[in-house]
């Protein structure tokens, strides 16, 4: 029997499919395994490469299988799809995973530790609560609009909503007022939970030197810094800051051919969480610079003088991503170019 060089593992809820391949790609075995059988089967195999899609539960199985001495490699699902032959089923998926992992230019996802997954859960929980709060505010605004009361969008105007609901003018029917108070209570409860998670993230930012270093970048707060350290792979993966910015999805989409470079809009093909937070932080910096004025002769001042603000914000987000890469690679704090020039 040929020696197994790589095992492609298709994860599922209860039944997993394993595809063993030799160094030359020849099929050694195809096995269907239950959840209880998986680790016993992997423990019986000689140490080899075990490849899986980076999907739900992949990091848990990656840690468990890695403890058995195997070299675990997680692949983004989008990179596996081109290797699926004909019909899609568990056996074909496992074979495609093994084939994709054998390619020398394939990109892999680092297996996260339990601490990193805990940080990721804190961030995603906060993001979910923020979306729920926004949905509730919009629902309340819509219901009041049906009663002829229109309030601007945004959380800053929740106080105006409350003033209209609790007012003594008697504009709202009693039934509408009671239901509106229910929604106000929901908004207040969500705001309290979000504030608690924000405090926890800020506490982690002060305790973690890497997160603290990232927060020295203008426009990068505790939430953004935590997202970068949690979701981004080790910065040694990228040879330069441009590669990290491209991984985030802050580079132009290319339609180049025949030696002609054709660049389109921002690709958005990358880590959505980090990209969104970097752009939000960049928008805040651009708005501040538009009101207070950017330093004379600075890159930001030159860009604001000739480009739309949103375009400048996305370009600044790209620079922020490159700066984050440089700080993490060199282990330094951010230094303002204007101060350095002075």
pLDDT attached to residue 132: 96
pLDDT attached to residue 341: 43
Per the DSSP assignment, residues forming a β-bridge with 319 are none
pLDDT attached to residue 278: 94
What's the angle, vertex CA 33, arms to CA 101 and CA 109, rounded to 5?
30
d(CA 252, CA 280): 18
Instruction: Indicate the SS3 state at residue 22.
Output: coil
- Residue spans of the domains in the chain: they are 6-101, 114-207, 210-254+266-329
Q: Closest Cα partner for 165 from 189, 130, 188, 141?
A: 141
pLDDT attached to residue 252: 80
CB of 51 closer than 8 Å to CB of 101? yes
pLDDT attached to residue 54: 92
Say which CATH topology domain 6-101 has. Nucleotidyltransferase; domain 5 (3.30.420)
Q: What are phi and psi of 75, to 5 degrees?
A: -120, 135
d(CA 329, CA 241): 10
Instruction: Indicate the SS3 state at residue 57.
Output: coil
Mean pLDDT for each 10-residue chunk of the chain (342 residues)? 88 90 91 93 94 92 95 93 89 94 90 88 92 95 90 89 80 88 95 93 84 91 90 88 90 80 77 91 92 84 90 93 92 72 42
pLDDT attached to residue 334: 86
Run of H or E including 30: strand 27-34
Beta strands at 252-254 and 71-75: parallel, antiparallel or unpaired: unpaired
d(CA 194, CA 182): 19
């Amino acid at each position: 029997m040929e020696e197994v060089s790589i095992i492609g593992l298709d994860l599922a809820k209860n039944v997993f499919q394993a595809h063993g391949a030799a160094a030359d790609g020849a099929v050694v075995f195809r096995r269907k395994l239950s959840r209880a059988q998986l680790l016993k089967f992997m423990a019986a195999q000689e140490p080899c490469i075990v490849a899986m899609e980076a999907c739900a539960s992949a990091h848990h199985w990656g840690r468990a299988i890695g403890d058995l001495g195997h070299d675990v490699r997680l692949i983004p699902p989008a990179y596996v799809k081109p290797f699926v032959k004909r019909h899609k089923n568990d056996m074909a998926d496992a074979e495609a995973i093994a084939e994709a992992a054998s390619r020398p230019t394939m990109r892999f996802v680092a297996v996260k530790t339990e601490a990193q997954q805990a940080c990721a859960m804190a961030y995603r929980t906060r993001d979910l609560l923020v979306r729920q709060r926004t949905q509730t505010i919009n629902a309340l605004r819509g219901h009041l609009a049906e009663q002829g009361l229109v309030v601007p969008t945004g959380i800053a105007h929740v106080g105006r909503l409350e003033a209209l609901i609790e007012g003594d003018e008697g504009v709202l029917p009693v039934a509408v007022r009671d239901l509106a108070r229910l929604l106000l209570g929901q908004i207040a409860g969500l705001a309290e939970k979000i504030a608690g998670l924000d405090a926890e993230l800020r506490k982690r930012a002060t305790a973690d030197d890497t997160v603290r270093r990232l927060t020295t970048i203008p426009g990068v707060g505790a939430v953004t810094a935590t997202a970068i350290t949690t979701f981004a792979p080790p910065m040694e993966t990228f040879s330069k800051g441009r590669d990290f910015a491209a991984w985030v999805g802050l580079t132009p989409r290319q339609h180049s051919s025949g030696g002609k470079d054709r660049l389109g809009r921002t690709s958005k093909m990358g880590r959505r969480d980090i990209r969104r937070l970097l752009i939000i932080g960049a928008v805040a910096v651009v708005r501040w610079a538009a009101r207070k004025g950017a330093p004379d002769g600075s890159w930001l001042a030159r860009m604001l003088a000739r480009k739309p603000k949103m375009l400048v914000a996305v370009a600044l987000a790209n620079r922020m991503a490159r700066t984050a890469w440089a700080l993490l690679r060199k282990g330094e704090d951010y230094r303002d170019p204007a101060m350095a020039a002075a």
